[in-house]
């Protein structure tokens, strides 16, 4: 049986995953990251996944934050659950510069994302989650290898920044598997690829 390939990302209303200030400009995302809707979406996205796929920047950023949450009794239980999952699960990190794995249970790869994911799909395990790594998600959209998209849409127009859906992607159809609106106007949407 072929494993499902899923991905998650937060987007502004105008389709950006960061603001005009670059990769660290997450002002449209951060205020909505700890809402109940966002935390429930985070739980949904990892509960069937047994492999996490990350780009180098996300792997290093996650390493700086999530390990301290895993055993923090004051943290939201949903955050602790995700932190334990990301700490303990198999991870594949795409990097052209790292020479040592930043985490336990981590394999570094320097190869095209589509090739690596195609190989992973043939192995045993649960879902393969591309975890908030836009460069990897873009490559998999271009190769039509994603089966499910978990998107958080925030009610902010950034007016600039990097876009997930760029011109030139193959035409594909998606169906809504889940949708939920939070008190701040944030939307949690799960799209399944219709094949």
Task: Return the beta strands (E) in the chain as ranges.
Answer: 5-12, 49-55, 90-94, 106-109, 127-131, 148-154, 173-181, 187-194
Give the pLDDT confidence of 166-177 residue by residue, as tens digits. Answer: 999 999 999 999
Inform me whether the pLDDT recorded for 96 exceeds 90: yes
Cα–Cα distance measured from residue 83 to residue 107, given in angstroms and rounded to the nearest whole number: 18
Q: Are 92 and 107 in contact (CB under 8 A)?
A: yes
Per-residue confidence at 100, pLDDT binned at 50, 70, 90?
A: confident
Confidence (pTM): 0.94
Per-residue confidence at 103, pLDDT binned at 50, 70, 90?
A: confident
Inform me whether the pLDDT recorded for 1 exceeds 80: no
Give the pLDDT confidence of 36-47 residue by residue, as tens digits. Answer: 999 999 999 999
Place domain 5-194 in its CATH homologous superfamily: Dihydrofolate Reductase, subunit A (3.40.430.10)
């Amino acid at each position: 049986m072929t494993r499902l390939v899923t991905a998650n990302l937060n987007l502004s209303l105008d389709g950006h995953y960061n603001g005009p200030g670059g990769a660290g400009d997450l002002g449209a995302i951060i205020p909505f990251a700890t809402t109940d809707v966002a935390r429930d979406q985070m739980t949904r996205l990892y509960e069937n996944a047994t492999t996490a796929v990350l780009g180098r920047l996300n792997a290093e950023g996650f390493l700086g934050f999530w390990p301290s949450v895993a055993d923090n009794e004051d943290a939201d239980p949903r955050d602790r659950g995700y932190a334990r999952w990301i700490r303990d699960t198999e991870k594949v990190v795409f990097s052209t510069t790292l020479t040592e794995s930043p985490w336990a249970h981590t394999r570094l790869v320097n190869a095209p994302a589509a090739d690596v994911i195609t190989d992973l799909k043939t192995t045993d395990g649960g879902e393969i989650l591309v975890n908030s790594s836009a460069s990897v998600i873009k490559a998999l959209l271009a190769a039509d290898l994603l089966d499910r998209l978990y998107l958080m849409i925030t009610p902010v127009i950034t007016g600039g920044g990097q876009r997930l859906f760029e011109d030139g992607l193959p035409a594909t159809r998606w169906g809504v598997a889940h949708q939920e609106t939070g008190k701040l106007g944030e939307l949690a949407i799960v799209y399944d690829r219709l094949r």
